[in-house]
Amino acid sequence: MAKIGINIATGSLQQDEIIVGIDLGTTNSLVAIMHPDTRQPLALKDVMSTTGTSSRSLVPSVIYFDESGQVVVGDEAMKHLVTDPSRTIFSAKRLMGKSYKDIRDHASYYAYKIIDDDADRLVKVQVGDRFYSPVELSSFILKELKLRAEHILKTPVNKAVITVPAYFNDAQRQATRDAGKLAGLDVLRIINEPTAASLAYGIGTKTNEEDQIIAVYDLGGGTFDVSVLRIAGGVFDVLSTHGDTYLGGDDADRAIVDYWLRQAGVSKDDMEVQSNLAQSLRLAAEQAKKHLSGNDSFSMTLNGDTLQIDRATFEQLITPLVERTMQSCRQALKDAGLKPADIDTVLMVGGSTRIPLIKKTVSAFFGKPVHDTLDPDEVVALGAAVQADILAGNNREMLLLDITALSLGIETAGGLMDVLIPRNSKIPSRASRQYTTQIDGQSGMRISVYQGERDLVKDNRKLAEFNLTGIPGMPAGLPKVEIGFMINADGILTVTAKELRSGVEQQIEVQPQYGLTDEQVEQMLMDSITHARDDMSARALTEARTEGEQLLKTTERFLQKNADMLTQEELLQTASAMQVLQLSLTMTDKDLIQQKIEALNEVSRPYAERVMDEAVAHAMKGKTI
């Protein structure tokens, strides 16, 4: 890491290059660095002075799109939550790696439009005539954080460590990495938030410290996880983790809103069509939650009506949510083979841990006072800054396990690189993912293994290729082929492919680093940064085209089987929509393709439901339940 100088007059930090730590949060996000003089992590603030006065370090994770397509992030975007809710995106982190099926029970909570045409597809958000993935939305927040850091530090910021909940799955972690790439950041490491928190507290940073077993209780705005770690001689060993990536302070806000609606005799369905009022209530509930952490009651006037709630009622409302977190604590301890008394230290992380009931409950469960001396909103970013300092080579007292230098993955539809093991993963490492066939009766599958950081395989290096044959003839989408990657301590990669229904299996052994010089590895990393925007655009276009092609095939098969059950007008409308979608696939506008996919879905949805209802009625004819 380059040397940093402090301008005493302005209090600003100046340096050539730095690795920053970023906490990409559901409600707020922030950036931190390691201070060059004090060697302590420091959250960046807009105004920094020698007197200690400063602005907030937090940037609201809110994105607003105006009518002209301009993007606003942070405090300015917050102003539009009520005035223009359909164009103002919040809680994007909750959508990362999620399908509509995962979030449909909570869809009414969002004032913006989430596409629901396919419950199993990863969600997209529609703003006007544009479609955005959670990855793109998160990239806008990360880009704002990057610009903010560059403004404060007076130097380009291109490298970062980004934190994620320990309970994030591979899809969510990869989505976070992709968001960083799209924002112009070289994401050197994705680090678990509990590990970051322990680093921020200084636990385990000295190799001569006594062994400790710690529990990290992390309740943020949208996610919760608890991790149990054994820290010995500067080595972090995660014994267990448990949690819920859809549980957090947002749920406490919703509990308050539901309480107020019940008090007023208003149904949730009525509120869905009043997005402005729904947003006002959500913001009021968030204000009430914070106020009740230090007061016994809350009251405010909204549109002439008085909203009231006391702490006792609030605690009663959130008790089921708190109990869900305690169930995770019990399971994490069980998985680790430990009892509450075995835990030496309990760290509290996340803004929602300010709620007195939560502190009291966690303390009672573990039988000791909780550790909450650091700002729960900043502690994760501070830990990420410590990790960044370690990666920069400035901390020699911690043991870093060996890692794989470049990402490893396979080729999927459209020539895309699907990463199974991201670069910087500790080795030995194992990962697997399930795939399926695209053609009816497909009996074989070619597995092409690639190494590199680009989104298209043509820009990466092919390591190996083999065929999985003997798959029994089944309809497309029915076979389940599990691809497994395992890197041993010597860096040898073994790839397995197994069709789970039939047991057909094949495997190959490759050496990921063979034939790659250090200069080639460095060039591949530099290319991934230089071409990040082009790569993401190409990936988005390829995914949209693949989705469109699959929809055309599905619709065509449906018409062949059920044409006699459709009216002439329905057939003509469908043919027209299919023709327009087919034409859009020849163009390079992914938003246009998404629009035409939506148009075909809108045309086919009514008669598809009707045909299904008639099929069920025919099957049940003459039968009783």
Give the CA count within 13 Å in the CB-facing half-sphere of 333.
19
What would the DSSP string read from start to end of 48-68?
B-TTS-B----EE-EEEE-TT
Chain centroid to Cα 200, Å, comes to 22
Tell me if residue 93 is catalytic.
yes
167-171-174 Cα angle (round to 5): 100
Q: Of 319, 256, 321, nearest to 285 (Cα)? A: 256
Give the CA count within 13 Å in the CB-facing half-sphere of 69.
4
Backbone angles phi, psi at 598, to 5 degrees: -60, -40
Are 370 and 217 contacting, i.e. CB atoms less than 8 angstroms apart?
A: yes
127: left (phi over 0), alpha (psi -120 to 50) or beta: beta
Which residue in the list 45, 84, 93, 455 is annotated as catalytic?
Answer: 93
- Residue 228's CB is within 10 A of a number of other CB atoms, namely 24
Tokens encoding 258: 């539901």
- Could you say which DSSP state residue 623 is in? -
| Length of the chain (residues) | 625
Backbone angles phi, psi at 496, to 5 degrees: -120, 150
* Cα–Cα distance list, 620 to 561, 606, 608, 615 (Å): 20, 21, 18, 9
Tokens encoding 593: 């393709």
Q: Of 468, 487, 467, nearest to 408 (Cα)? A: 487
- C-alpha 411/C-alpha 464 separation (Å) is 11
- Could you say which DSSP state residue 408 is in? E
- Could you say which DSSP state residue 117 is in? S
Contacts of 215 (CB under 8 A, 6+ apart): 226, 227, 228, 229, 329, 332, 333, 343, 345, 346, 347, 366
Element (H, E) at 217: strand 212-219
Query: Which residues sit opposite 163 in a β-bridge?
Result: 23, 191
Which residue in the list 144, 193, 286, 459 is annotated as catalytic?
Answer: 193
Q: Three-state DSSP class for 116? A: coil
Which residue in the list 84, 144, 218, 543 is annotated as catalytic?
Answer: 218
Tell me if residue 23 is catalytic.
yes
Tell me if residue 159 is catalytic.
no
Cis peptide before 428 (omega within 30 of 0): yes
The b/e string for 11-50 (b: 16+ C-beta within 10 A; e otherwise) is bbbebeebbbbbbbbbbbbbbbbbebeeeebbbbbeebee
Q: Three-state DSSP class for 505? A: strand
- C-alpha 575/C-alpha 563 separation (Å) is 12
Radius of gyration of the chain (CA): 26
Q: Which residue numbers are catalytic?
A: 23, 93, 193, 218
